[in-house]
């Protein structure tokens, strides 16, 4: 079984913020591959869609508590592969980077997952959300919170839409042919 977690924050108010690109990417993959509608599983505090032994998960905790939901999902399902799709404030808007077995790089949602499952043994698809006007990293600064909770500009949204389509393609290849081929093609 493959479990693909898209990170974001619940609720309409935050739906289109930079922090929610993980949800956006999972939604695009689900749409493109005709997954059934997401349904709330209260025990795992997540919206879940399943098809062909692939679980798509959107934790309904806030970002910094994502690990609680992921831990519940893993408690009830054995994953041969765990993939976490999330925003990255250090990458330019729309840039994609696929990594495996890495630390959180300061991402609070990823930190929560590592803390709750007790390891870093999962694949991460990082999606850049850093606005063009920021030439230096804002990670760990007061500006970081402002950046992640803002919506994209119309031009940035176009770039993000292209990135989520590319991620959907990457996830398709991963499910079909594995990590190595996916990383070779999309990194």
The catalytic residue positions are 19
For residue 118, the number of C-alpha atoms closer than 13 Å in the C-beta half-sphere is 3
Neighbours of 183 (CB within 10 A): 17
Alpha-carbon separation of residue 19 from 32, 57, 135, 186 (angstroms): 22, 16, 19, 22
Question: Cα–Cα distance between 89 and 130 in angstroms, integer?
Answer: 5
Whether the Cβ atoms of residue 70 and residue 18 lie closer than 8 Å to each other: no
């Amino acid at each position: 079984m493959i479990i693909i977690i898209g990170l974001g924050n619940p609720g309409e108010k935050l739906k289109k913020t930079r922090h929610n690109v993980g949800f956006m990417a999972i939604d695009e993959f689900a749409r493109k591959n005709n997954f059934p509608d997401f349904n709330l599983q209260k025990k795992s505090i997540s919206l879940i869609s399943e098809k062909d032994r692939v679980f798509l998960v959107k934790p309904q905790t806030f970002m910094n508590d994502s690990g609680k939901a992921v831990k519940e999902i893993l408690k009830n399902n054995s994953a041969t592969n765990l993939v976490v799709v999330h925003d990255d404030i250090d990458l330019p808007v729309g840039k994609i980077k696929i990594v495996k077995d890495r630390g959180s790089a300061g991402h609070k949602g990823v930190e929560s997952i590592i803390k709750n499952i007790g390891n870093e043994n999962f694949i991460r698809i990082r999606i850049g959300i850093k606005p063009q006007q920021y030439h230096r990293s804002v990670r760990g600064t007061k500006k970081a919170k402002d950046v992640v909770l803002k919506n994209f500009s119309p031009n940035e949204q176009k770039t993000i839409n292209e990135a989520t389509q590319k991620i959907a393609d990457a996830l398709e290849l991963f499910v079909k042919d594995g990590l190595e081929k996916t990383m070779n093609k999309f990194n």
